[in-house]
Amino acid sequence: MADGFTTGASRRDFLKVSAAAGGLMLSFSLAGKAGAEGQAGAKINAYVTIAPDGVVSIVSKNPEIGQGVKTSLPMMIAEELDVDWAQVRTVQADGDPATYGRQFAGGSAATPLHFDQLRQVGAAGRAMLITAAAKDWGVDPATCTTASGVVFHKASGRKASYGALAAKAATLPAPDPKTLKLKDPKTYKIIGKPHAQVDTPAIVTGKPLFGIDVQVPGMLYATFEKAPVFGAKVKSADLAAAMAVKGVRKAFIVDGGTELNGLLPGVAVVADSWWAARKGREKLNIQWAEHPTSMQSTAAYDAAAAAFAKTGPQRTERADGDVDGALKSAAKTVSAAYAYPFIAHAALEPQNCTAHFKDGQLEIWAPTQNPEPGRQLVAKTLGIAPDAIALHMIRCGGGFGRRLSNDYMVEAAWIAREAGAPVKLLWTREDDLRHDFYRPAGWHHLSAGLDANGTVVAWKNHFVTLGDGKGQPAPSARMAPHEFPARFVPNFRYDLSLIPTGVPTGPLRAPGSNAYAFVMQSFIDELAHAAGADPIDFQLKLLGDQGLIGTPGKDAYDAGRMRGVLKRVREVAPWGKPLAKRPAGVRAGRGVACYFSHLGYFAEVVEASVGPDGAIKVDKVWVVADVGRQIVNPSGALNQVQGSVIDGLSAALNQKITIVDGAAAEANFDAYPLLRMADAPPVVVDFLITDYPPTGLGEPALPPVLPALTNAIFAATGVRVRRLPVDNERLKSA
């Protein structure tokens, strides 16, 4: 284990990667940048382009949704290419799987998937430039070195810039990866050093950058109204009234289909301006057909979950030992019911897409996390070939998993084809909140037993979740049978019951974990208090002395790494130390939680205050993270961890989507508030550097902050929060 911020492949593997990237990994060109962003006529077919003046353009292959990959991925290439970061210009790739392989943003996967591959891209480019120089000079390439975009031959004193060598280097074959020597991390000049996101100047000065900013010649604007009840068809609509609004060009009914992730029924209005399109939409007076989901509601789901608690589960997903016997013989038992609601992604940029259909060809400008499935969905829906679609990936104003679904893309494409002109489809905030793929609600009925020494000897969880109507959990509602503390309690049972739903669900930042951490870590805190133990000591005892259990890439869990972050957070946070004095009537406490998610091990402490009126103030958060041996961009890493904490607190304190008569009741930020800047606490982040491959940071910091907060509320008030969001009324002083 190291104590600070601090590589392999066969030729066959390298060629596989190269083939996935459309041939050679690199393409050097005197024409400038390799691809999008102002490069007229330049087709992206590689990662690196070097101009005669030495400016290096590096393609970022994945969508940028605010997680910083447009900076961090090119940093990996630039480091091994051996250029100065000031020489680099980043280029956003278009959707081009033939060139780049799979392109997506999700699962905190960018770093673990690309850290080795992209460094090889840079190292291969550096080797080709050295070979080009060596051929010119008639020397052995092994006698040449590089630094800051220049090749040197020390013995003769000769040197040549990358810009001067690029054209010749481009004619050379890619090197055998076995011959590539990657840098010693101790010599890194770019990786591991903090860099601002490359788009920050454009963001802070308000320059066009996001999907909502796209403008193309002759563009019209569109709105698309869908039924409040998900998937209901149009019974009637006053198209003439909409067409009578000044500026409206077309209004038409879209029959749509039944797939919630595809083109649903609705009414489109196309106009000269978005405002005109919206005003026309207001005149439609749509009548919607009956739909079975209209019989569903949050209240009905709650009632069904309560009924399952009495009647028993539908099936058992995991059974270790004799749970019932261990509970009967336990020195102490604890039972509790936990629940959490649907929540929406609520990205600040509502869903939008610009599309132009002409002569059987479609061009799309989309802020998407998952471009190729979007292309395939559009092709299938419109009945055209995928290669007839050109897809430009535009920066997303937030994603959090919502833009893994591409319903807005297929809507824009369909409307553009019908309109016969380029069309920008823009959802309203109400559209965005009422037509999300929500984090599914869930209910857990828990019982656990402690022996006389305070050891957990039994654990039973009857999980009631939402189902697809075919006997399987709804999207993102499945909990794995190895979810912690499975495998750490000798007598363990996980039972499952499903409530069919017509409400669309899907992944939201740290899918599953963003809910399960609240339940498991809150209940473990209950057990710690029942045992009269310090919560951190109790967690360490539960983890025991095990190391890695399970199978890497499948169900692995490293108890040693989790012990490491727990021990470190006790040092970083003032755990066990007296709290500062608060005003009269204000109660305060600290809570702790830990969680493994998306290959990252995190432990977090929250200090919170509760006023006499039940109002909660999060005073400070301490985070300890173990994501391996290398932090690619410390600035971006800090941003991701702090942003995850703010997201988690916002969800715990404020957010729920209530289903009433089959529709989402909350429609805007007045009813679905985000955490305000004034309420955001200081977040202290400590990266525990360990000798493991580097992993991602977009998600794993979020799950533990929810139970750390609710455990802090219990420590302050004695009131246990078992349902989210927190009910302030229960926290009022007696």
CATH class of 11-201: alpha beta
Mean pLDDT by 10 residues, the chain (734 residues): 33 35 33 33 56 92 97 98 96 94 96 96 93 97 98 97 91 87 97 97 96 98 98 98 98 96 97 98 98 98 98 98 98 98 98 98 98 98 98 98 98 98 98 98 98 98 97 98 98 98 98 98 98 98 97 95 98 98 97 98 98 98 98 98 98 98 98 97 98 98 98 98 98 86
How many residues in the chain?
734
- Which tokens in the block code for residue 427? 């959802």
Options 3.30.365.10, 1.10.3720.10, 2.30.33.40, 3.20.20.80; CATH of 211-291+352-426: 3.30.365.10
Per DSSP, which regions of 521-599 are E strands?
A: 548-549, 557-558, 587-597
**Angle formed at CA 77 by CA 138 and CA 373, multiple of 5 degrees:** 130
pLDDT at 19: 32
pLDDT at 171: 86
pLDDT at 179: 87
Decide if 11-201 and 211-291+352-426 have a common fold. Answer: yes
- Tell me which architecture the domain covering 312-342+439-731 has in CATH: 2-Layer Sandwich (3.30)
Dump the DSSP string for 94-127: PS-HHHHS-----TT-HHHHHHHHHHHHHHHHHH
Residues 495 and 317: beta-carbon distance below 8 Å: yes
Query: What is the spatial distance between Cα 683 and Cα 700, in angstroms, rounded to a whole number?
Result: 15
Query: What is the spatial distance between Cα 457 and Cα 558, in angstroms, rounded to a whole number?
Result: 21
pTM: 0.93
pLDDT at 237: 98
Cβ contacts of 324 within 8 Å, gap of 6 or more = none
Residues 149 and 87: beta-carbon distance below 8 Å: yes
